[in-house]
Amino acid sequence: MSTYALDSHAKAEAPPVAAAPSWLADLTELFKLRIVAFTAFTAATGFAVASPAEVDYSGLFWAVLACVLAAGGSSALNQYLERDTDALMERTRHRPLPAGRIAPRGALFLGFQLVVAGVTLLALTTNLLAAALLLATVVLYVWVYTPLKRRTALCTIVGAVPGAMPPLVGWAAATGKIEFGGIVLFAIMFLWQLPHFIAIGWVYREDYLRGGLRMLTHLDADGILAARQAFLYSAALFVVGAMPCVAHLAGMTYLLGSFLLGGAFLVLNLRWNLQPSRKHAYGVFFGSLAYLILLFSLLLADRVGA
């Protein structure tokens, strides 16, 4: 077969070249809009649960918008700081900064402006306490958690703190106070994140190691330690998930639902313990998303005063 024929055959069988992402897709990736939507949902839950029978929908709108702006800005700042690391990892090297589609200075400028806008908006439309909590969330995520990822495996636990703040921010926006109910929602979010991120951290442990990031799972090749940790945190979540009833935030419908959801999530974690594998780790990861969405939806539906 001639060289021309070989070349023609190779071109015929080669997969089509993917089109370059659009500017809209790049901004969606830069601001991590799916995570931003999740942040908005949890902040809205905190605001609504803290409210009396009649929710102040105007205040809810401004609080959620402020959290959306700050979360999007935090994501841009995070990717600005991690652009060199992202370039080393397979799952992140096509992001707009390491791929060169967005200039680092542009991401830095956009991120900073969005954070300032979000914190300022919350201070002007709700109260200073909520704005201070939102600012603390950004600082912990961008300037504490992000650098720690290169230094210590405890970064996952540290990162769970800012990740758990949105419902507390929403609570403070509604009440102007930090109360037991808000702390309960914070605790649920904190414990929920640990099995969630341990599972995905174990699946991508080699990629994280390639990028020089120190995760709890980077030396756990067989997954036994990761699965055991995730199970322990999910067991604690089973108990804490029922605490909104102790805080008089919800009724018996929520209590029964929290036990069913917590039990199902425990089963997913137990299955990963008994058979450590990527399949079961993914089960824990996606199961955790379903768990929190359903749990908070149930809390909204059965909240006291609704």
pLDDT value, residue 50: 96
pLDDT at residue 216 in the model: 73
- pLDDT reported for residue 20: 59
Say what the pLDDT of residue 19 is: 53
pLDDT attached to residue 211: 85
Do 281 and 203 touch, CB atoms closer than 8 A? yes
Q: Which residues contact 284 (CB under 8 A, 6 or more apart)?
A: 195, 196, 199, 230, 234, 268, 269, 272
Q: What is the pLDDT of residue 2?
A: 39
pLDDT tens for 121-172 read 999 999 999 999 999 999 999 999 999 998 888 899 999 999 999 999 999 9
Q: What is the reported pTM?
A: 0.90
Q: Could you tell me the two tokens for 241?
A: 């998930």
pLDDT at position 98: 95
With a cut of 50, list the residues of the chain below it in pLDDT: 1-18
Other Cβ atoms less than 10 A from the Cβ of 279: the count is: 11
Question: How many angstroms separate the Cα of 162 from the Cα of each of 27, 137, 265?
Answer: 23, 5, 23
pLDDT value of position 153: 84
Q: Please compute, for residue 173, the number of CA atoms within 13 A of its CA located in the half-sphere on the CB side.
A: 39
